[in-house]
Amino acid sequence: MTDADHDIDGPDEPDAATEDGERIEGTFLVTAAESDSAVLKDVESGQVHTLSSNPGVERDDVVEGAVAPDPPLNVSYQLVKTSSRRTLSVERSDEPPTAHSRELAAEQGVGDLTREERAGTGEIHVITVPEDGTEAAVDDVLEDEEQLRSRAARLGVDRVEIRSAPGVLSVRYMP
């Protein structure tokens, strides 16, 4: 059995179930990890699942798999299946936004956002900001790292890159 297809239940055991009889499958961002527990956030629903043990995940990992509540109280969870696991990086780039991003910013008002699919996988978000507030805007975006990582996990990418130039902020979600 490979790490990419790990099922704790085993082939002959019934699947662990939630209150309505179903385990929860999805993509989860690990928002906290200690040696004996972890917290996973479902990147689609925003639901938070506190694990009663840590199956080897680390903060900022993205896990595709399934969780099930611990009986009998169903207040904590176990990660019962892992289909894949990866780590996301968020970085501030020294590179300026691309010419295309600068063109998009020039066509929109201050405070406006344009989202575009990248060629291949991912998205680019271009935000027009006041020229004298560009650095503060970059800091604000980087401060909400959990949101950046959640969006990256939903998009199926591994890296978030923030580029800026006076008046332009580009958030690139890339493989």
Residue 111, both tokens: 């405070």
pLDDT averaged over the chain? 89
What pLDDT was estimated at residue 76? Answer: 93
Rg (CA), the chain: 19
Task: Enumerate the β-bridge partners of residue 84.
Answer: 64
Q: How confident is the model at residue 96 (pLDDT cuts 50, 70, 90)?
A: very high
The closest alpha carbon to 86, from 175, 25, 10, 16, belongs to 175
Residue 73: band (very low, low, confident or very high) from pLDDT cuts 50, 70, 90 = confident
Residue 20 has pLDDT above 70, yes or no: no
Mean pLDDT (whole number) for 7-11: 38
Written as six digits, the tokens of 167 are 């008046």
The pLDDT of residue 9 is: 40
* pLDDT band of 14, cuts 50, 70, 90: very low
Span 143-172, pLDDT tens digits: 999 999 999 999 999 999 999 999 999 999
CA distance 168 to 157: 23
Q: pTM for the full model?
A: 0.81
Residue 19 has pLDDT above 50, yes or no: no
Q: Which residues contact 118 (CB under 8 A, 6 or more apart)?
A: 124, 172, 173, 174
**Can you tell me the distance from the alpha carbon of 79 to that of 56, in angstroms, rounded to the nearest whole number?**
10
For range 10-15, the mean pLDDT: 35
The answer to whether residue 8 scores a pLDDT higher than 50 is: no
| 23-34 pLDDT tens trace | 999 999 999 999
